[in-house]
Structure 1
Amino acid sequence: MNAPFSPQGRNPFDDPLDRILAEIALSAQLPPSLHRNAGGRYAAVRAHLEADAAFEDQIEHFYPQGSMAIDATISNRGTDDEYDLDIVSQLGGRFRQMGPLAILLELERALKDYPVRKVVRQSRCVTLYYADRMHLDITPGLRAYGTLDRESYITHAKGPIASTDDRFVDMNGFGFAEWYCGRTPLEYRMAKAFHDHWLNLEASSLRADAEVDEVPDQCEFVVKNTATLALQLVKRFRNIRYADYDGRVPPSVMLSYYAGMAAKPDSTLSEMVIRLANWIIGDIEHASRHGQKLHVANPICEDDVFTDRWPETIRQQDEFAVYLNELVAGLEAAKRGNQSADQLMDWLRNRFGDRVVTKAADRMADEIGAGVQSADQRYTRKGGLLLPTAGIVAATASPSVVKARPHCFYGYRF
């Protein structure tokens, strides 16, 4: 019998365009130190709630959902290095007699004095804001019995008083994460290259601090495949493109669905970003041709509709398709070599945010410069030496900084 196919993926740092894209994704995602903190914070919040009389023996499950569950967390602002992480708190019998707002208020009360910068009740969760700019969204839910594992009804209520708009919303983030992971297998070569680069950057940063003597222990792979890396880039592109937009924007969970659908192991990173964008464009154009709004549901729970709050109009989805078409056109031009280095870097800054792109470019320049000094040069396929160009190393002195609005996995808060 033949051994089953095991995708290895491609090292994104072997190709000049993929390398800068990987560096951009790395600059925007949850850093190793905060990634390690997340698990401890989940446990600490659960312990705090279980010590409250109202929640004692009432927490059936307490688990990550959204971007953290599929290893696709990125910063939610263009420049502030803020990160949203999502937890579902599946609650027991006492809470099944309560309405959505009452549950949210009870959760808010129990967390009111939690030692963080602030505690804010949202329409579907309670958010803890930490001093290091991590946000923890805790979404209460009630198990939907007789359905697939952990399918739940989560709360939706604006408050401050009960309303006829208050409701429970069907959701199975746990099942979706399992579906996504099944569609996006580990690509070992790609994951190891990105993981090693990720940790080396943290090690270099720590060694620069005279008070730090040891580098933290290594952790498991974080980004496991090219589809997830491409998803992070498309999410970052969306954040920047809608930075000044007042309404709702394409939700991360919808983008994650398309990354799972479009996943193609062993693709290059630039190819995967283009493939993901084109998949979304195709579905939007199909819906618009039929005069319909885009409808995307959880593939393992049809009542869990990812597009329930976006798009609000056909025009809104067409606008996103225009943005994605422009992203595809720019990447395809870069792959053909139709842009100078300066033009490419300016284009990337406008699409992914000045600070993140400049940070990535400076890192590349430092690494390549150190490689030249140590005779560890890198060469192109045609034998040319890869050196930092003016377009890569130049950091603007006082650029107009593009900031993306804060968001949660299912869309922007209101």
Structure 2
Amino acid sequence: MNTQYAFSGINPFDDPLDRILAEIALSIQLPPSLHDKAKGRYQAVRNHLEATVAFRDQIEHFYPQGSMAIDATISNRGTDDEFDLDIVSQLGGRFRAMEPLEILRALETALADYPVQRVRRQTRCVTLYYADKMHLDITPALREYGTRDRESFITDAKGPAHSSDDRLVDMNAYGFAGWYDERTPLEARMASEFNRRWRDMYHDTAKADAEVDDVPDQTHFIVKNTATLALQLIKRYRNIQYVGYAGRIPPSVMLSFYAGQAAQPNSSLSAMMIRIANWIIADIENASLYGRKLHVANPVCVDDVFTDRWPESVAQQDEFARHLRALVRNLEQMRRGEMFPDDMMDWLRGNFGDRVVTRAADNIAGQVGSAIQKSQQLYSKKGGVLFPAPGIITGVAAAPLASPAVAAARPHTFFGKKI
């Protein structure tokens, strides 16, 4: 008999360091307006395809994959207002006799007149570019019958002409989303507080209907647990480290795997980020020690290899490990109170993006200002004032709530004269 455990989670807004990290995460979320559009577009694309001769009666399933499936979507690489969303289109028997490039071309042709700014055929999908900077990737897939959880083969063909490198690649995005969901249970208090702040931030009150194959219901819970929130921040950190980088970068699905592996309910946000990063570092170090490239496979489908296109070399994975060590080192210094406030804010801006960090700090300042006007104080469970008004307004140092996991941290403020 399986026992279901309920976890409350830790409110990330109770601790000064976690609070600024949570506010950064809020600033890179898919906004409610685009979330609603994503759901509508998701169905509209399917309707459009099913109205064409080539795809009529040939779409068996149309479901989200990747970050979209586990509720971990953030703004695109190097941007603050672009979002990549991924859909799998499981196709019927008519496509089973076709070569990978033919399938991609058929999908591209069917979407050629779709009302978007641009339609582009990629190696494994066709991308729709919308005017509001949303990108929708539709990946054609052929179900491998007799296997579990919609295991399928997806196309891999660079084009423009047929090549001996064209192939079908094993994939089980649906099964992985289920695995991730099991590994990262709902942390009710954490999710509730984050959702409340998200609603306050966007003044959104709508509630979407939850459907089995629908986009996750972000209007109810944006992020359901600390592991997913930490995953979003690590993805953002990766994006900033690789701005302007021409080659492939560490794949999001690999990071999602490590978030699932490292998930530990009722952890603080900063501790969860450190835990995930250290897990990745350890595996990279072990692979590099033996001169091997990191190998990470889907835990429900060993032939679905998350690292099949990255890393391209041992040096490339070692570079990412260096970035992660810097993340861990600086987060640990902040947790111990060993970083001056202005240095901390400068580091956050440089490694998570100036715009989103400034916005996060402004949000906190605005909340504190509102509390002052209402003659409210923000207290921790232990009775300490979390963000004393004079300290925020004038730059006077204040003592934050110490993280339960950090012993004898010396008092400091996380904010300098300018936030």
TM-score normalised per structure 1: 0.90
Shift of 1:382: 6.1
Does residue 165 (structure 1) correspond to residue 189 (structure 2)? The answer is no
Judged with a 3 Å threshold, the aligned counterparts in structure 2 of structure 1 residues 158 and 6 are, in CA distance, closer, same or farther, namely same
Mapped to 1, the partners of 2:374 and 2:386 lie a distance apart of: 14
5 Å-filtered alignment, 1:261-276, equals 261-276=261-276
Provide closer, same or farther for how the CA distance between residues 332 and 35 of structure 1 changes in structure 2, counting only shifts above 3 A: same
Residue in structure 1 matched with residue 176 of structure 2 by the alignment: 176
Which position in structure 1 is the counterpart of 2:49?
49
Percent identity reads 66
Q: Structure 1 CA distance, aligned partners of 2:3 and 2:151?
A: 35
CA RMSD of aligned residues (A): 1.7
Q: Answer yes or no: is the 8 Å Cα contact 1:62–1:88 preserved in 2.
A: yes
* Deviation of 1:221 (Å): 1.1
Alignment map for 1:289-304 (pairs within 5 Å): 289-304=289-304
Residue of structure 1 in register with 2:149 after alignment = 149
Matched, 1:394 2:395: no
CA pair 161-191 structure 1, distance change in 2 beyond 3 A = same
Match of 2:282, as an amino acid? G
Which amino acid in 1 is paired with 2:27?
S
Do 1:361 and 1:393's aligned partners in 2 also have CA atoms closer than 8 Å?
no
Deviation of residue 269 (structure 1)? 0.3
Is the CA contact (8 Å cut-off) linking 1:361 and 1:392 kept in structure 2? no
Change (3 A) 1:117 1:394: farther
Match of 2:352 in 1: 352
Secondary structure of the residue aligned to 1:138 is strand
| Structure 1 position 78, deviation (Å) | 3.5
- Deviation digits for residues 75-117 of structure 1, max 9, x if unmatched? 0144441000000000001101110111101100100111111
What is the aligned partner in structure 2 of residue 402 from structure 1?
Answer: none
Deviations 1:13-38 (A, max 9, x none): 01000000001111112111211221
Match of 1:190 in 2: 190
* Cα 1:122/1:377, change in 2 over 3 Å: same
User: Which consecutive unaligned segments of at least 5 residues does structure 2 have?
Assistant: 209-218, 396-414
Aligned AA for 1:373?
Q
Query: 1:38-92: per-residue Cα shift (whole Å, max 9, x none)?
Result: 1211111000000001100000000000001000000014444100000000000
Distance change in 2, residues 1:3/1:85 (3 Å): closer
**Matches of 2:130 and 2:296, distance apart in 1:** 33
Is 1:30 aligned to 2:30, yes or no?
yes
Deviation of 1:250 (Å):
0.4
User: Does the 8 Å contact 1:124/1:139 carry over to 2?
Assistant: yes
Change (3 A) 1:251 1:26: same
Counterparts of 2:97 and 2:3 in 1: how far apart (Å)?
53
How far the C-alpha of 1:321 sits from its partner, in A, is 0.7
- Matched with 2:332 is 332
Is 1:110 the counterpart of 2:110 in the alignment? yes
CA gap of 1:393–1:363, structure 2 versus 1, over 3 A, is: farther
The 3 A distance-change label for structure 1 pair 17 and 3 is: same
Helix, strand or coil at the partner of 2:96: helix
How far apart, in 2, do the equivalents of 1:336 and 1:101 lie? 54
Which segment drifts farther, 284-293 or 175-184? 284-293
Name the counterpart of 2:366: 366
- Cα distance in structure 1, aligned partners of 2:385 and 2:341: 15
User: Alignment partner of 1:114: what SS?
Assistant: coil
Paired letter, 1:394: K
Given residue 109 of structure 1, which amino acid in structure 2 is its aligned partner?
A: T
Counterparts in 2 of 1:145 and 1:217: CA distance versus 1, 3 Å: closer
Normalised by the length of structure 2, the TM-score is 0.89
SS class of match (1:246): coil
The answer to whether the Cα contact below 8 Å between 2:207 and 2:220 also exists between their aligned partners in 1 is: no
Match of 1:383 in 2: 384
How far apart in 1 are the matches of 2:159 and 2:385?
62
Which residue of structure 2 aligns with residue 322 of structure 1?
Answer: 322
CA pair 172-328 structure 1, distance change in 2 beyond 3 A:
same
SS of the residue aligned with 2:356? helix
Aligned to 1:95: 95
Q: What CA distance in whole angstroms lies between the structure 1 residues aligned with 2:224 and 2:174?
A: 18
Structure-2 separation of matches of 1:136 and 1:79: 16
**Which residue number in structure 1 is paired with residue 402 of structure 2?**
none
Amino acid in the other structure paired with 1:383:
G
Counterpart CA distance in 1 for 2:83 and 2:279 is: 27
Residues 331 and 385 of structure 1: CA distance in aligned 2, closer, same or farther (over 3 Å): closer
| Counterpart residue type for residue 245 of structure 1 | Y
Would the aligned equivalents of 1:365 and 1:393 in 2 still touch at CA under 8 Å? no
- 1:85 maps to what in 2? 85
2: CA distance, partners of 1:77 / 1:261: 24
User: Aligned pairs, how many?
Assistant: 385
CA contact (8 A) 2:379 2:386 kept: yes
Q: Cα distance 1:125–1:261, how it changes in 2: closer, same or farther (>3 A)?
A: same
Q: CA deviation at 1:323?
A: 0.7
Preserved CA contact (<8 Å) 1:365 1:392: no
Gaps of 5+ in 1: 207-214, 396-414
- Give the match's secondary structure for 1:34: helix
Q: Is the 8 A contact 1:78 1:355 kept in 2?
A: no
Helix, strand or coil at the partner of 2:227: helix
CA distance in 2, matches of 1:303, 1:376: 56
Counterpart-to-counterpart distance in 1, 2:351 and 2:254: 20
Distance change in 2, residues 1:5/1:146 (3 Å): closer
